[in-house]
Structure 1
Amino acid sequence: MSIISGKVIMVVLDGLRYDTARTQMGYMNHMVEAGKAACCRVWSELPSLSRPLYEVLLTGTPSSVNGITSNQTVRLSTQTSVFHLAREQGLRTAAAAYYWVSELYNRAPFDPIEDREQHDESRAIQHGKFYYDDSYPDSHLFADAELLRRRENPDFLYIHPMGIDDAGHRYGADSKEYRGKAIMADALLANLAPGWLELGYRVIVTSDHGMNADGQHGGTGVEEREVPLYIMGTAGVKPGYYEERVPQLAVAPLACRLLGLQPSAAMAALRFPGVAYDEESEGDA
């Protein structure tokens, strides 16, 4: 197996553009400059919409294969996600995320009362706290996630705040409000990530899609498709900035490799330049 396996925290900052991450997120970029993180450009799949790209990030399959083609496609995923693979191998899974993630991997449609908090070892996401208001504060969401981490000790924790995306839709990507939410997310990571890293977690920070100046996404523009991916952790990470664009389909198999899991047969054999693979994996990762 390539890469030393361990626990992984995956943070998806909804709606975060690559250029905004590079110019506004001081802590994350400090970690790169300090030789403690890698930063890659990721080219999102189409359509550059949230629900389809949640499925891309967690199953490594495009919309033409998985059938999640719009935000209005409300049903369980038919693909094997990172959550499924982890649970099948006896790992613990958890998520603090927007309710569409629950609808994809636990139960659809979402019941705001019954499904707000979930604890069921038989489900793909065994422990979850899900919100359904786009303006739910990122500070609360990160607190939800950290409580899950402390109480449930997951091997794979998925964290998905909506503040950046919400500000982008309200004010556009070229606004102080949008940039301010990116700065706030960076500060929340600065408070929590050092503790995660000290405990030996590998941390992936990325986004589903970007945002244009009109406060929209869904199309083919660079501002809608180019998003960051930061990788932090002592094992298997090659620090630095990597300018080549990596297909978003590579994110799910990366999470699998970091967890010590074999990617599903549907996941593409792609790899990130900021990750060290051993000789065994040179031909298949």
Structure 2
Amino acid sequence: MNKVIMIVLDGLRRDTARTQMGYVNHLVESSKASYYKVQSELPSLSRPLYEVLLTGTPSSVNGITANHIVRLSDRKSIFHLAGEKGLKTTAAAYYWVSELYNRAPFDRIADREQHDGNMPIQHGKFYFEDSYPDSHLFADAEVLRRQWDPDFLLIHPMGIDDAGHRFGSDSREYRAKALEADSILATLLPGWMQLGYTILITSDHGMNRDGYHGGTGPDERDVPLYVIGTSFEPGIYEETIPQLAVAPLVCNLLSLPLAEGMLRYAFPGVRL
């Protein structure tokens, strides 16, 4: 069984990932990682797409249809499935993830840090300001990893998305945040790779030049997926992958049964 780290760089366009993230793309060029094209589900909004990435179900099925829908998910997520099999789960993420899988509504004091083996996310550090620094969020995640040695760790920074909303995706600020994320990953990935983790790096949605997302355009829907691990044949895969396939892929990596409604999809280059 693999131990999996899933990184969701909120608001990262696919083309920005390819042009700005030099270290991650170096891993692809040097045959140490795989690159896939992913098309996000609709609506291309954050809370609905967290549910897509973590339950493998679309909004029309799970009912998380907009960002203002504040309630626990009624679907089995990767966290639920892992816990049922005795695996350890952790997350360093935006508070909407806590509201989907642990408690809703979010209490800024009681829910900022959570440690409860009976919860779907057993150990979590959650932030509630979009401007929370990515450097701090990745440090939160690494603390969780070292303390709890999880089988599944979700890391979800918001810096790229925040810059996109403030300045638009065709801005130096947006590109700078992608570069910053790549620099942080260049510091952490080598150690995680040496320890044998399977690592997925993707996004929930992209961003248009006006600083918005939620629509149907490629700027808002086209996101990257980089994967590092022995279960993948390194390379660049041109086939467009449905975002609904990501959650069942993680389940397969963790040797978990797929939940009802999850898509069975044959990823190219996967050796499972």
Settle same-fold status: TM greater than 0.5. yes
Determine the structure 1 residue equivalent to 2:127: 131
How does 1:160-179 map onto structure 2 within 5 Å?
A: 160-179=156-175
Determine the structure 1 residue equivalent to 2:231: 236
- Would you say how many aligned residue pairs link Structure 1 and Structure 2? 272
How does 1:39-58 map onto structure 2 within 5 Å?
A: 39-58=35-54
Distance 1:25 1:272 in 2: 23
TM-score by length of 2: 0.99
How does 1:17-28 map onto structure 2 within 5 Å?
A: 17-28=13-24
* 220, 245, 252: which one aligns with 1:250: 245
Per the TM alignment, residue 272 of structure 1 is displaced from its structure 2 partner at its CA by 2.1
Determine the structure 1 residue equivalent to 2:74: 78
Structure 1 gaps, min length 5: 278-285
Distance 1:18 1:202 in 2: 21
Q: Give secondary structure in 1 for the equivalent of 2:135.
A: helix
Distance 1:8 1:167 in 2: 28
Structure 2 gaps, min length 5: none
Per the TM alignment, residue 271 of structure 1 is displaced from its structure 2 partner at its CA by 2.9
Which contiguous aligned blocks of 4+ residues in structure 1 show a shift greater than 3 angstroms? none
The one-letter amino acid of 2:92's match is A
TM-score by length of 1: 0.94
8 A Cα contact 1:40 1:274, kept in partner: no
Per the TM alignment, residue 144 of structure 1 is displaced from its structure 2 partner at its CA by 0.1
Distance 1:78 1:105 in 2: 9
* Farther-moved stretch of structure 1 (46-55 vs 254-263): 254-263
Identity %: 70
CA deviations 1:108-143 (Å, max 9, x no partner) are 000000000000000000000000000000000000
How does 1:1-285 map onto structure 2 within 5 Å?
A: 5-233=1-229, 235-277=230-272
